[in-house]
Amino acid sequence: MKRYTGDRTIDGLKVLVDGRLLDPAYAIRSICDKGFEWSYEGAAPAQLALAILADHYGDPAKALALHEAFMSKIVANFDNEWEMTSTDVDAAVRALGSS
C-alpha cells in the first residue's frame, strides 16, 4: 500500500509517495508549472490531484478524468500536513462517484 504525504514547512512544500518525491505528472498535463499546493481550489492543487491519481492508478486517462473532482473535494480540504494511503485514495474516488 502506498503512502502519500504532504508537508508545508519554512523551506517550502514537500510531497512524497513512500518516502520519495511525487512525480508532478507534467508528462500527462502541465496544469501549473510552479509545483504543488493544497487547501484551496486552483491550478497548483489540480496538479497535485493529477499527480496523486496518476501515481496511484498508473492510468493517465483515468487520472485526467478524475483530477478536477478529486482536487475540489479532497486536495482543497487538506491541512498544512496531510497523509493518504492507497486505500484512502480509493475510498475518496468511490465517494466522488456518489456525490
Which pLDDT value is given to residue 98?
58
Q: What is the mean pLDDT of residues 40-69?
A: 98
- Give the DSSP H or E segment for 4: strand 3-9
**Percent of residues, the chain, with pLDDT higher than 70:** 98
Q: Which of 87, 83, 67, 81 is nearest to 25 (CA)?
A: 67
Each residue's pLDDT tens digit, 16-46: 999 999 999 999 999 999 999 999 999 999 9
CA angle (45 as vertex; 66, 40 as ends), nearest 5: 110
- The C-alpha atoms of residue 59 and residue 76 are separated, in whole angstroms, by 22
